[in-house]
Amino acid sequence: MLWLFVFFLVPFLVLGRISIAESMIARPPYSPLWERGSDGSLEIIASLDNYRFLLSDALYRNAYLSSFRVAAISTIFALLIGYPLAYYIARAPEPRRSILLLLVILPFWTSFLLRVYAWIGFLRRDGVINNILTWAGVIDEPLVMMQTDFAVYIGIVYTYLPFMILPLYANLVKLDGALLEAAGDLGASPTVTFLTITLPLSLPGIVAGSMLVFIPAIGEYVIPALLGGPDTLMIGRVLWDEFFASRDWPVASAVAIVMLVLVVLPIMWLQSVQNREVPK
């Protein structure tokens, strides 16, 4: 509770206070919530105009929708890649399992920024991928991969793939092998065994991994800024522009509050559903 209070509730209240203020050319660049009039009375300045502005401006709606789309697609690809890897690691014998887990964690030993920059060398027109494809005769002209949504998807999936693999592995490694053997003894094919036993029992790991990828991907700024183009509109870039380029802290705070509500409320609902489904 103390951790949530210091690192979640307090910043949330600070952003909420700024979001109902007015933008000013001052330090700090927003108005106080009240002023004392000439007669000594207190005049409330706070308003919800910044939230009304978000609803009326198509830029912010499109940024939210684009962020959710990119995060959802990236999460799906991370799941499609991460599930087989996690399943293979969970079924691997020791000491191979420890080595494979080390390979999954190994990218965390390198700077996040350097790993994203490395993809520029792979995806640009004279990069590694285009050079290999040209040398092999697969393409005649270099492919345009940089500054596209494709490059953003690759960057997000590559960066957050370990966050998908590790919860899935933790769930799959606890799967009782006797259940799979019993299904095989009863005549179930490997496909039927996977769909009726392995997949349902791994749903908590799927949900946990998907949330760990989806939530940070929504507000991602570095990857779209480095790998995406000018048409790659995500809410992280909008927040950066509002805070540091436009210096409109009240609108930027309102954008952050709305994004937080849109992300946290579904997660709270999902958590409550899971808690009701847990047998007492």
pLDDT digits (tens, 9 = 90+) for 8-35: 889 889 999 999 988 888 778 888 887 7
Instruction: Indicate the DSSP class of residue 186.
Output: T
Beta bridge mates, 34: 44
The residues near 53 (Cβ < 8 Å, ≥ 6 apart) are 251, 254
| Burial of residue 220, with CB atoms counted within 10 A of its CB: 0-12 exposed, 13-18 middle, 19 or more buried | buried
Predicted confidence band at 272 (pLDDT cuts at 50, 70, 90)? confident
Around Cβ 130, how many Cβ atoms within 10 Å?
Answer: 20
Is residue 63 within 8 Å of residue 233, measured between CB atoms?
yes
| Burial of residue 265, with CB atoms counted within 10 A of its CB: 0-12 exposed, 13-18 middle, 19 or more buried | exposed
Around Cβ 154, how many Cβ atoms within 10 Å?
Answer: 19
The Cα 29–Cα 13 span in angstroms is: 17
Predicted confidence band at 265 (pLDDT cuts at 50, 70, 90)? confident
The Cα 65–Cα 55 span in angstroms is: 13
Predicted confidence band at 69 (pLDDT cuts at 50, 70, 90)? very high
Enclosing H/E stretch for 19 = helix 10-19
How many CA atoms does the CB half-sphere of 246 hold within 13 Å?
15
The Cα 116–Cα 17 span in angstroms is: 35
Enclosing H/E stretch for 183 = helix 177-185
Rounded to 5 degrees, φ, ψ at 145 are -115, -35
Interaxial angle between packed helices 203-218 and 58-91, expressed in degrees from 0 to 180 and rounded to the nearest 10: 140
Residue 228: C-alpha distances to residues 112, 144, 148, 156, 276 (Å): 16, 12, 5, 11, 41
Predicted confidence band at 190 (pLDDT cuts at 50, 70, 90)? confident
- The residue with tokens 């870039």 is 237
Q: Residue 53 above 70 pLDDT? A: yes
